[in-house]
Structure 1
Amino acid sequence: MRTVVSRGVVAASVVAVLALTAACSGGDGGDGDGRDGGSSPTAQAKPKGPDGPGGPDGQGGPGGSDRSDRSDGGGAAKLAAVALTRDDLVEAGLKGHHVSPRKPTAQDTAMAKAPASPAACAPLVDLLAPVTPPGAKARVGRVVAPKDVYSSSTAVELYAYDTPGAAARALKDLRAAAKSKRCATFHKGDWRHSGVTARPAPDKGDEAVSYRLGRRTGPYVKRLSVTVVRQGSTLASFSAENVYDPESVVREDKSRDSGDRSPSVADKADTEPKVPAAVIDAQLAALR
């Protein structure tokens, strides 16, 4: 979810949460997103072992927190049973948010089928998309949106694998791609992704990977911050995004150089989208 303002950045953070339950079945297909941006240091949470612990809509709007799933397949139903709800956020101390299903668009489905070049970079977009990635058996997605429409939102995806080992291998491939110089800039279908950098990952779940990436969307730059946490045989993906206009930043810088001291309305290139820790904690608590 994102909004772009004429002279600045409209932060539209999307946190994709991927949460999987052990021994699930059913499915979609993989997908991705991207960003054009800068670089950052790399550090990843260490795995605690691939054999660690391992429905419905779950919409948490004004009506409450229904955890029943209308998705096809037993795997999707099991994921929906532990998918994030508004009540989970309230218990985690994050109030004033709506939780709604995240549905794939036609573009999401098409991009999921598109090849990546280099191929090893595909997990960078597959593991934040609202489509079941290769190797997973099912997925369920949520969007966490503040009631304040001017605030950022977070996308959460849960991906279910057959075993903790299968989920650990998927995360290992993601970690390698985030650190690879070959994936600093890559293509997924017609989209060119750039600015890929590994980021310090939180010490959560059995292991975790964090990274950022971006891509051009017309005159704007879409930037994403992503954290993927493995808990048993489930990958929980959280992604936040914002969109900014680099040309407006340049114009403001030139204006300031000429003596203009009016307040800035343009976001700077180093303003990264943030994935709220409370959203991650709430989803992981629901997985336990």
Structure 2
Amino acid sequence: MKRAAVVGVVVGSIVVTAGAAAAIWSLTRPPSIHTAAETYLNALSTGDFDAIEPMLPEGTTQVGTLEAAFAGASARIADISFETRADGSVTADATLAGEHATIGFALTQHDGRWVLGSDALAHLEVSTTMGDSVRIGGALVPAGIVRLLPAEYPVSAAPAGIVRGEATAAVTGESSAAVALEASLSSGATALAQEQIEAYAGVCAEPATTVPDHCGIVVPWAADLSALDAVAFRIDRLPSVMIAADGATFDATGGVLIATARGTALDGTAASFTYRAEDWSLRGSIRFDGDEMVLAVR
């Protein structure tokens, strides 16, 4: 009787252990390709980047830019149906901004998880007539070819508030998309340029021992002094900025500047002379660098 009881315990132990192993294997095995595809497509439809990030193609760079752009998408896919194939390819039919969209991508297993192929990221080529960058969704990116997750995106010229120009782009990865922005200056561009020129003019008008370069200032002190010791300035009226229609250059004109030069007079005595310029002007070029407008005075 004792032997039979021992045998029963051992057999029972084997059965329980085998059942536990099966449960553990079931819990730790990677999801099916169907489940992985469903997870990705649902995340695209809800804007869940946290669910997408672990599945991004190997070697994906600028993940922060990809996330910011996706967060600012104007429309996401909906009404999704899809099929998977044995080779890991997936084809999904959906609607995007009210239009039919086909989304194709591949999934492969890597370190126990499903990873998207590089074809999952769509290519959008963006050009702009002003500046070197654009804003796509919530991301500022250089103009050119940008890789994005499938969605519809607002595309706008940069710098925001200075250059205007808007478009939308629906990208799915099935075919490349392109946007050409016809950018123009906004009403705020001149005001911002005026602020920059006024700050620059203030530096030009600081006391100095020589007449400053690149400030549009000419002081004819040599007509009255043999040597200049110092020069002081007073701004009576700041130059007023006008920007060229193409945004490439500016003219700041109509300024009034008073200069007092101190030094050695032609007869060898100490003296000072005051000069007034009623046509003080600053001119130069403009470039739009990322999200900034940069003025360069000639």
Task: Please indicate, yes or no, whether the TM-score normalized by the shorter chain is above 0.5.
Answer: no
TM-score between the two structures when normalised by the length of structure 1: 0.22
Greater strand share, 1 or 2? 2
Query: More relative contact order in 1 or in 2 (CA 8 Å, sep 6+)?
Result: 1
Larger Rg: 2
TM-score between the two structures when normalised by the length of structure 2: 0.21
